Amino acid sequence: MTCTANELLAVMGARALRDGITVFAGVGAPLMATALAQRTHAPTLTMMMEGGILGPSFKPGDLPISTNEMRAAYHAQMLPGISDAFLLAQRGFLDVGFIGGAQIDQYGNVNTSVIGGYDRPKVRLPGSGGANDIISLCREVMILTVHEKRRFSERVEFVTSPGYLSGGDSRRKSGLLFGGVSRIVTTLGVFDFEPESRRMRLTALHPGIAVADVQANTGFEVLVSADLATTEPPTDKELDILRMLDPKRQFIG
């Protein structure tokens, strides 16, 4: 069964989640990944949404288009305020956060603010939303994104959300004492960060993708793991669950 780019991201994101954890998820591929994990290998996983919704379960075919609408609260365990959601992250209760990014650099810093200089930008992007809080306060963060050269630059033009800053122990020296980006899942492969330099490192390729394809679509030299693997393609069962949840293809088309 063939799959779309969003389905691929959702499946690979879901497989990275563990049972029993709490996940701070947004709409789109992160929501689909979390919901898929709950229906496969992580039934006791708890989802938190940015609007302050804790522990929802979604009606197939009626997924929320925002983290702040009441469809996102279907069968929720709690409905605290948005400030309480980030308070829980600050207190260490949120294990994994999902974010995306218009521009990501080799140290996992994310730009969702401006392209072309802050004072006179060519493009003004939506800004942080909750991404800065998520990447700063969750125990670990995963990024799901399409892999394009324009997205992966050597240095972001503006650090909206801090990854490992300039590498090494610079994140800790800045006062961010835990967390960081643990994994980036793209449409070409899966990446972690080399422990010493904290540079982005390719750990797995999706079937049919070569290292040269990744390098050609990345704006900096890609480190490659000595134990480079190949991911298993999405199964029919995983794709069937995604399409059952979202038959209108609002998020996975």
Q: How many separate domains does the chain show? A: 1
Q: What are the residues whose beta carbons fall under 8 Å from the beta carbon of 70, sequence distance 6 or more?
A: none
The residue range of the domain holding 126 is 5-209+236-245
To the nearest 10°, the Cα dihedral for 41, 44, 45, 50? Answer: 140
Residue 136 lies in a domain: yes
What is the rounded distance in angstroms from the CA atom of residue 182 to the CA atom of residue 54? Answer: 23
Please give the structure tokens belonging to residue 166.
């300039």
Strand partners, 192: 201
pLDDT given for residue 253 in this prediction: 66
pLDDT given for residue 50 in this prediction: 81
Active-site choice (7, 50, 157, 238)? 50
pLDDT given for residue 86 in this prediction: 87
What is the rounded distance in angstroms from the CA atom of residue 189 to the CA atom of residue 213? Answer: 10
Asked about 50 being catalytic, the answer comes back as yes
pLDDT given for residue 63 in this prediction: 86
3-state secondary structure of 182: strand
pLDDT given for residue 52 in this prediction: 86
Q: Which pairing describes strands 140-145 and 223-230: parallel, antiparallel, or unpaired?
A: unpaired
Residue 108 lies in a domain: yes
Instruction: Render pLDDT for 23-42 as a digit per residue (tens, 0 to 9).
Output: 999 888 899 999 999 999 99
Residue 226 lies in a domain: no
Residue 217 lies in a domain: no
Q: What CATH number has the domain bearing residue 93?
A: 3.40.1080.10
Instruction: Render pLDDT for 198-207 as a digit per residue (tens, 0 to 9).
Output: 999 999 999 9
What is the rounded distance in angstroms from the CA atom of residue 29 to the CA atom of residue 8? Answer: 9
Residue 149 lies in a domain: yes
What is the rounded distance in angstroms from the CA atom of residue 180 to the CA atom of residue 203? Answer: 17
pLDDT given for residue 191 in this prediction: 98
User: Concatenated DSSP letters for 34-67?
Assistant: HHHHHTTT-TT-EEEETTTEES----TT---SST
Cβ distance 183 to 142 under 8 Å? yes
Please give the average pLDDT of every successive group of 10 residues along the chain, which has 253 residues: 91 97 90 95 94 88 84 89 87 91 94 90 88 92 96 95 96 92 97 97 98 98 97 97 90 73
